[in-house]
Every structure is written in C-alpha cells, then in structure tokens.
Structure 1
Amino acid sequence: MRHIQKFSLRWSDMDSYGHVNSVQVVRLYEEARVSLLFRVARSAGVTSFEEGLITARHEIDYYRPLQYLLNPDHPGSFPTVRIESWIENIKAAQFTFMCEMYKDWDLTGRARSLCVPYIVSTNSLRRLTPAERSFLQSYVHHPDPPRTEEESCYSKRIHTSN
C-alpha cells in the first residue's frame, strides 16, 4: 500500500529560474517521511519511531524540473504536489523509505531514504521492534522499475544525515 499526501508549494520554495529549489524538494520528501513514520504510525499505535530514527542515506532522482506555477482558473490557490510513499527492504535494523513526487499527473522525481532506528540516550543503533516491522510491512509496495538516468532530465544524489 502507498501513503498518499498533498503538499502546497510556497512562493519562497522557488529559485530564480521559477523552479522549486532542490533544498525545498528535500524538505517536501522529509515532510512525507514524517507524516507516515510519525503521524500515521502513531495513529496505528506505533510511537517508537518518534524516540529516534535517523536517515543514513538519502538519494533523489530528478526527472523534470518542478515549476511553481499559479493556476489562473483558481486565483488565491497555491500549487500543490502529491507525494506517494512506501517501504522497501525491511531488514533487522534498517529499512528503505521510498517516495515519488507528482505535479498534476507528471512524475517529477523519486527519493530513497535509508532509515535506521536510533536510541538517542545511548547514541546507538537498535533493531526494529515487531510492532514497527508489522507497521512497515503494511506499506511495502513494489512499484514499476525505476527510470534509468538516460530517461531523467537530470539526476542528483544527496548524502546527508539528520
């Protein structure tokens, strides 16, 4: 199953070319990750992700520029994107959080985040609990094969930890 959420773009997300800045794209992917792993997980009774979860790796493939365009038919409304999220590769102490971002019905990019449960008080990694594993398993989805770099407008990999 995929978790689907819409996000409004902000005027300040735009760069000098009228595209949504790549830093803001990362922020949107993070908001989708937080939505599923904290908000939705909490409503399912799983609160342990809130105690510590780090991003060990983050990769983004950009397939087309994401433009900030107002809709003249709906004055006062902000442009939105749809982010679809799911889980892949659940292992003992890590999992991959996947996202696809759509503007209207156009796929603009795909992100992969390697997430690792973490104990803040001891500064150490930990294994997934059975409840976490069960929650994540309900969001395992096998999408279409990823696009190749030749199919994307440009590809950029970002390595960060938070």
Structure 2
Amino acid sequence: MRHLYSCPLRWSDMDAFGHVNNAVFVRYLEEARIDFTRRLAPGGGSTAFTGGSVVARHEIDYVRQLVHRHAPVTIELWVTKVTAASMTIAYEVKDEDTVYLRASTVVVPYNFTEGHPRRITAEEKAILKEFLDDASHQEGRREGAVAR
C-alpha cells in the first residue's frame, strides 16, 4: 500500500532560476512523512507512532525541474525496510505523468525524554508492513536521475 500526500507549492519555494529550490524538497518530504505517521497512529489508547523520531539519512535523486504553479504535487510514499530500530521510507514527488524527485529517508524512533533512540514496537512493525514495498523503489533507482 502507498500513502499519498497532496503538497501545495508556495511562492517562497521558488529560487532565482524559477524552479522549486532543491532544499525545499526536503521540507516537502518532511510534510509527507509527518502526514503519513499521523495517519498511522491507531488511537484508542495505543502509543504506536506517538513518540518522536529523527532522520538518520536522506538520499535524493532530482529527476526533473519543478516550476512554481498553483496546482499541488503528489508525494507518494511507502516503506522499503523495517529493522528493529529504524525504517526506510521511499518517496516520489510527481504529477500523473511526470516524476520530479525520487528519495528515501532512514527514520529512527527517538525517546526525547530519555535522550536516545528506541526500538520499533511489534504493533508499529505490523502497521508499517502494510506499506512495505521495495520493488517499485528499486526500479525507479535503476532508471537513474537527471542532474540539474
């Protein structure tokens, strides 16, 4: 299963060359990831996905320029790997016919009160496995990126 996030483009996202600045894409990924984890939280007294997390790694391939416009882009994300204490999330920033960016992020659950990473619970693993799909992300990586 994939999670879809509709990401608005802001005028301030554009750089001097008229396209969305490369650093802004990291913010787009963060917005999509936060939306994803908020939707994962099961509620009903469960503590799954209620703590904090930190980013351990980003990997980004810029495929096409994204020029500013009023229509949002879609960020499609899914999980490619779940370990005892981290998860890898893959993304595509795209429209129906065009992929602008492919990326992945390693996220580590973190206990900010105690000041250290924590393990992913069995409940969280079960929920994350619903979004596990590594084949599509690898296919996108093999296509390669276009440098800007």
**Which SS does the other structure have where 1:12 is aligned?**
helix
Name the % identity.
38
Q: Take 1:83 and 1:12, find their aligned partners in 2: how far apart are those partners? A: 19
Within the alignment, does 1:147 sit opposite 2:141 as a pair?
Answer: yes
Does the aligned pair in 2 maintain the 1:66–1:103 contact within 8 Å? no
Structure 1 residues 80 and 11: alpha-carbon distance in aligned structure 2, compared to 1, 3 A threshold? same
* Unpaired runs of at least 5, structure 1: 70-77, 156-162
Per-residue deviation, residues 99-136 of structure 1 (Å, max 9, x unmatched): 10003420111111101111111111111101110111
Could you tell me which of 123, 129, 142 is aligned with 2:121? 129
Which of the pair has the greater relative contact order for Cα pairs under 8 Å at 6+ separation?
1
What's the CA shift for 1:51?
Answer: 1.4
Q: Match of 1:8?
A: 8
Q: Take 2:47 and 2:27, find their aligned partners in 1: how far apart are those partners? A: 22
Could you tell me which of 81, 84, 93 is aligned with 2:76? 84
RMSD: 1.8
What's the CA shift for 1:48?
Answer: 3.7
Moved over 4 A (4+): none
Q: Which amino acid aligns with 1:114?
A: V
Q: Match of 2:92?
A: 100
Q: Take 2:36 and 2:51, find their aligned partners in 1: how far apart are those partners? A: 15
* Unpaired runs of at least 5, structure 2: none
**Which SS does the other structure have where 2:50 is aligned?**
helix
Q: Which amino acid aligns with 1:146?
A: G
What's the CA shift for 1:49?
Answer: 2.7
**Which SS does the other structure have where 2:140 is aligned?**
coil
Count of matched residue positions in the alignment of Structure 1 and Structure 2: 144
Q: Take 1:17 and 1:104, find their aligned partners in 2: how far apart are those partners? A: 24
Q: Which amino acid aligns with 1:97?
A: I
Q: Match of 2:58?
A: 58
Query: Taking structure 1 as the reference length, what is the TM-score of the superposition?
Result: 0.82
Q: Which amino acid aligns with 1:147?
A: R
